[in-house]
Amino acid sequence: MPLGGVIFIAVFVTVFGCLCLLAGRLLGGKKHQDAVKLAPYECGIPSQEKKDTKVSVKFYLTAILFILFDIEIIFMYPWATSFKQMISDGTGTAALVAMMIFILIFIFGLFWEIRSKALEWD
**% of the chain surpassing 90 pLDDT:** 28
For residue 93, being part of any structural domain is answered with yes
Task: Decide if pLDDT at 14 tops 60.
Answer: yes
- pLDDT given for residue 53 in this prediction: 65
For residue 104, being part of any structural domain is answered with yes
pTM for the predicted model, two decimal places: 0.49
Say how far apart CA 43 and CA 79 lie, in whole Å.
54
For residue 60, being part of any structural domain is answered with yes
For residue 61, being part of any structural domain is answered with yes
Q: What is the pLDDT of residues 41-51, one digit of tens each?
A: 666 666 666 66
Residue ranges making up the domain that contains 10: 2-115
CATH number where 69 lies: 1.20.58
For residue 120, being part of any structural domain is answered with no
Name the domain count of the chain: 1
Q: What is the pLDDT of residues 52-110, one digit of tens each?
A: 667 777 788 888 888 888 888 888 888 889 988 999 999 989 999 999 998 998 889 88
Say how far apart CA 17 and CA 21 lie, in whole Å.
6
For residue 75, being part of any structural domain is answered with yes
Query: CB neighbours of 103 closer than 8 A, spacing ≥ 6?
Result: 76
